[in-house]
Chain A
Amino acid sequence: MTPDPSDVQALFARHYFYFAALATLGTLQIAVSIGGFRGLWLLPGRLMTRYLGVVLIIAGAALFFLMPLWVEGPWAAGSVEADSSTRLWGRADWGDLGAARNVNDVDGGLSGTGQATWFPLSALIAVIVSALGGLINRKLLPDRFERNEAVANRFGESDGLELLETSDYLAAVKRSWSRFKVELADDARALLALSDRWSITVLAWRRWRQ
């Protein structure tokens, strides 16, 4: 029996989400280890964090492409060479893995719009998990943060990701948000002045002020 496209779509969406969640978390760990934003590291050391990132990305990709071996889907052994609308439901063999995920979105594969929905959700989860990891790191190894904090304080006020070099996410967001509220009006005026004269926002602003 050929699979129902709605069942296929639900399966692909779930599997893509696992892949994207692991890969975004891995990418974030590599990026923040390069940037030095300790408040988002899942592990205490820079190199360890970077290696963890690589492992997470590889694990996400491996899980996504190997899952047809143990999860039933529109890739029953021997049917993957057929067009995606005529495949059979079942588990794949090793030899079918390359083609198992090639299912047209009209037959239940995940469309670009579907991916554009799941990716930001994965990114958000990656940030939340990393912020929690940073909080735990700070509790377990407070001296590493404090040493950096002492150095940072010598260079005066900062906000945004810079604060995560020396503090955990909760402390950073508290300080950044209060500074944002104070500086918003001045920043907006300065940025309006830097914008092109033909910007719609600038024109609307000028008209509103008249």
Chain B
Amino acid sequence: MNPIDRELVIWLNGLQGNATFIDDMARVIATDYLMPLLFSLSMFAMWFAISDRERRTRAQYWVLIGISSIGLSNVAVVLFNVAWDRKRPYEVLSEIELMFYRATDPSFPANPVAIGFAAGSAAWMVNRRFGYMIFGAALIYGLARVYAGVFYPSDVLGGAAVGIAVTWGTTYIHRLFQPITWLFVRLVRGLALG
């Protein structure tokens, strides 16, 4: 195991117990529900929030790429898991105090961070500031899970890399089937929602 990874997870996880409020916030942020919903909502908002048609059509194209990337990131994470069954920090390090449920899948790469970075990459292509906000939320999500003792920092970095790489790859998959994505956006405009 990478000693920096080991030291960082022990240090961050060792901070718990100092402030109940921070522990509770970390638990809420680390749930399977809050942040993934936030990432989905960010894609939903991007579809509707732009008044200029040309910019909005471009944003909607990236929303479709973002949604596909979220799905494909999960597939990429499963493939990594098959190749490398990395044990969770609480399974390997006796110093770790688990603050979350006992996850049954491998640790690397961090799946929730991968989907956050997939959504963030699509948002970044439309609006840099919005993209950075989603990247920030995904990093906080990952750090909350390191704090809870279920991920190593390198899992978070790996998840971020997977999310960005999958989004980049997904643009080529969409291009492979073009103009289907553009026609879908056109169809939704025909329903007065695009």
Q: A interface vs B, CB < 8 Å?
A: 16, 19-20, 23-24, 27-28, 30-32, 34-37, 40, 57, 61, 64-65, 83-84, 95, 97-99, 101-107, 109-110, 112, 115-116, 119, 123, 127, 158-165, 169, 172-173, 175-177, 179-181, 184, 187-188, 191-192, 194-196, 198-202
Contacts and interface: CB of A to CB of B under 8 A. Distances in A.
B49 A106 contact: no
B180 interface: yes
Given A160-B189, A161-B189, A102 B100 contact: yes
Nearest to A111: B32
B175 A169 contact: no
Contact of A105 (B32, B51, B183): B32
A4 B158 CA distance: 35
B102 A104 contact: yes
Contacts of B71: 116
Chain B contact residues: over half helix, strand or loop, or mixed?
helix
Contacts of A20: 37
Nearest to B45: A31
Given A65-B28, A84-B102, A99-B27, 12 more contacts: A35-B48, A35-B56, A36-B51, A104-B103, A105-B32, A115-B36, A115-B37, A161-B48, A177-B190, A177-B191, A195-B179, A198-B176
B34 interface: yes
Contacts of A165: 51
Contact of A106 (B44, B50, B53, B104): B104
Contacts of A201: 177-180
B48 A31 contact: yes
Contacts of A161: 48, 56, 189, 192-194
A182 B185 CA distance: 16
B49 A35 contact: yes
B104 to A, nearest CB: 6
15 contacts: A24-B44, A27-B44, A28-B44, A35-B50, A35-B51, A35-B56, A37-B48, A57-B41, A99-B24, A102-B30, A115-B33, A165-B51, A184-B190, A191-B182, A201-B180
B34 A31 contact: no
A176 B191 CA distance: 6
Contacts of B104: 104, 106
A54 B34 CA distance: 15
Contact of A180 (B23, B56, B177, B187): B187
Contacts of A163: 192
Contacts of B186: 180, 184, 187, 191
B81 interface: no
Contact of B49 (A31, A159, A169, A187): A31
B74 interface: yes
A119 B40 contact: yes
Nearest to A172: B192
Contacts of B50: 35
Nearest to A175: B192
Interface in B13-38: 20, 23-28, 30-34, 36-37
Nearest to B178: A195
A36 B33 CA distance: 30
B190 A179 contact: yes
B176 A199 contact: yes
B152 interface: no
A34 B48 CA distance: 8
A9 to B, nearest CB: 13
A98 B103 CA distance: 18
B49 A34 contact: yes
